[in-house]
């Protein structure tokens, strides 16, 4: 309680002692505690009530926000997406740059800031209020690679896709900002730019090598889809099962890959994998998983979609399923009639089974040629949000769906990686069991005893390449002993 404040004033002395010939300059100190004014009596109550009012739901009045009709879905959508980034989990624009431009983006043939054909350009991304984008650096499965050890250019091509993605992001600094962390994605949105992240769509793109996973992380990739439409050294794809093949789930090396991805903070993406692979990964994952572009199997029984038991496990895991826009995954029997309403059906089912905390958006724009009526390109995202609201989603649920969920999941994956690394856990060194290693030379400067003998037994070469030098000390193409 505050001390009483003194009040200075003049009062006359008692009348019998008063000397009227002397000017009255006497001073007296009086407490104000006796003041009985309304404000003085209730000022603390008024201050408390005012402070509580500022913290109440009506506080929007003070920030310039005015109440709106709850059925004004367009305005509700605008307000939500102005303050929460809508982050799409999967867009294949880099693949279009490869097949249409051979990754040459400086020759003036394309200007992403202008209206283009196809699904994606910066103008329509702005119209669609996109706040963040995971760009897929996809490369086809190599049909010539019948065995995981067969030579392939897939890793080279993946490096080129990472390169062109980083380059086109850098070409548009007023619109795009490369990000490799959830915190960066938030900052980019706050600065008015679209956060741009990199995802690798298939474990085949790292050549069956866990060492390559580490290097892809160092180059900026932040998720790897464990398989695409082919099995690889890590696990079984949905396409294999759809073609009548066995669902072998996660391989021995796949378990080690998941361990290393969790240690790194690389998001494990389970879109495209078989249902058993989904279950195997979730049984050992030490961090949340993502599905960057998948639907609900109970709504449409396509093997690319997520069964309910997996959705419930994802809920316990703390992961996310980002709803896809591919017609065939939405409506198997009559894909040409797939509409935006079908997408909402999948989203609502995922939210019902897994919760609003584990649903997001993963369009597959610029990858699939077939998109639903009403979601023809990246400008249509607000229409999807409005329809979710019309179906009963609250503003807070829409915020989770639009971007808060993926940012939280990503942040938790980063946090878990820091915790694992803090224990001193070393990088995984396991390799594919059928891998063939270089044999070396018989007379190499071996470090360990017995290495030379092992190399000889394995067929090591007798001598290094000698550049066709003959007995006279001259280069001679006729000399073949190298």
Q: Which of 119, 293, 346, 349 is catalytic?
A: 293
Q: What span, in angstroms and rounded, lies between the C-alpha atoms of 170 and 310?
A: 38
- Respond yes or no: is residue 342 known to be catalytic: no
- Respond yes or no: is residue 364 known to be catalytic: yes
Q: Which of 119, 204, 228, 275 is catalytic?
A: 228
Q: Which of 121, 175, 231, 364 is catalytic?
A: 364
Q: Which of 90, 119, 204, 349 is catalytic?
A: 90
Q: Which of 119, 260, 269, 272 is catalytic?
A: 272
- Respond yes or no: is residue 92 known to be catalytic: yes
- Respond yes or no: is residue 228 known to be catalytic: yes
Q: Which of 88, 121, 175, 201 is catalytic?
A: 201
Q: Which of 88, 92, 260, 377 is catalytic?
A: 92
- Respond yes or no: is residue 140 known to be catalytic: no
- Respond yes or no: is residue 438 known to be catalytic: no
- Respond yes or no: is residue 336 known to be catalytic: no
Task: Cite the active site residues.
Answer: 90, 92, 201, 228, 272, 293, 364
């Amino acid at each position: 309680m505050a001390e009483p404040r003194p009040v200075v004033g003049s009062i006359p002395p008692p009348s019998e002692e008063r000397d009227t010939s002397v000017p009255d300059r006497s001073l007296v100190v009086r407490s104000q505690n006796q003041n009985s004014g309304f404000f003085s009596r209730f000022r603390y109550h008024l201050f408390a009530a005012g402070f509580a009012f500022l913290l109440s739901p009506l506080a929007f009045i003070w920030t310039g926000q005015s109440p709106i009709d709850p059925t004004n879905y367009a305005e509700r959508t605008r307000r939500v997406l102005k303050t929460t980034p809508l982050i799409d989990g999967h867009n294949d624009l880099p693949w279009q740059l490869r097949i249409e431009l051979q990754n040459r983006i400086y020759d003036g043939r394309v200007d992403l800031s202008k209206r283009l054909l196809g699904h994606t350009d910066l103008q329509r991304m702005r119209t669609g209020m996109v706040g963040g984008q995971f760009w897929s650096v996809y490369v086809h499965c190599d049909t010539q690679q019948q065995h995981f050890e067969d030579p392939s250019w897939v890793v080279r091509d993946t490096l080129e896709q990472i390169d062109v993605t980083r380059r086109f992001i850098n070409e548009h600094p007023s619109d795009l900002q490369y990000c490799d962390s959830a915190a960066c994605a938030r900052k980019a949105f706050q600065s008015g730019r679209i956060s741009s992240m990199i995802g690798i769509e298939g474990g085949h793109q790292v050549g069956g090598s866990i060492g390559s996973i580490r290097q892809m992380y160092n180059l900026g990739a932040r998720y790897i889809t464990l398989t695409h439409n082919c099995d690889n050294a890590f696990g079984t794809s949905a396409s294999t099962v759809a073609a009548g093949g066995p669902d072998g789930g996660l391989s021995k090396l796949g378990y080690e890959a998941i361990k290393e991805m969790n240690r790194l903070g690389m998001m494990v993406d389970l879109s495209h994998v078989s249902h058993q692979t989904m279950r195997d990964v979730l049984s050992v994952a030490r961090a949340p998983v993502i599905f960057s572009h998948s639907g609900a199997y109970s709504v449409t029984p396509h093997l690319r979609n997520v069964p309910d038991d997996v959705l419930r496990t994802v809920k316990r895991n703390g992961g996310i399923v980002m709803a896809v826009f591919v017609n065939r995954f939405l409506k198997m029997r009559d894909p040409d009639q797939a509409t935006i309403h079908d997408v909402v059906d999948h989203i609502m089912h995922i939210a019902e089974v897994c919760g609003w905390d584990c649903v997001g958006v993963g369009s597959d724009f610029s990858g699939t040629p077939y998109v639903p009526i009403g979601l023809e390109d990246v400008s249509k995202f607000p229409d999807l949000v409005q329809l979710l609201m019309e179906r009963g989603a609250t503003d807070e649920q829409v915020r989770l769906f639009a971007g808060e969920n993926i940012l939280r999941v990503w942040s938790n994956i980063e946090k878990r990686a820091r915790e694992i690394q803090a224990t001193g856990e070393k990088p995984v060194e396991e390799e594919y069991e059928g891998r063939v290693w270089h044999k070396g030379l018989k007379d190499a400067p071996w470090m360990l005893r017995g290495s030379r003998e092992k190399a000889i037994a394995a067929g090591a070469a007798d001598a290094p390449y000698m550049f066709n030098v003959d007995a006279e000390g001259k280069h001679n193409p006729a000399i073949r002993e190298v």
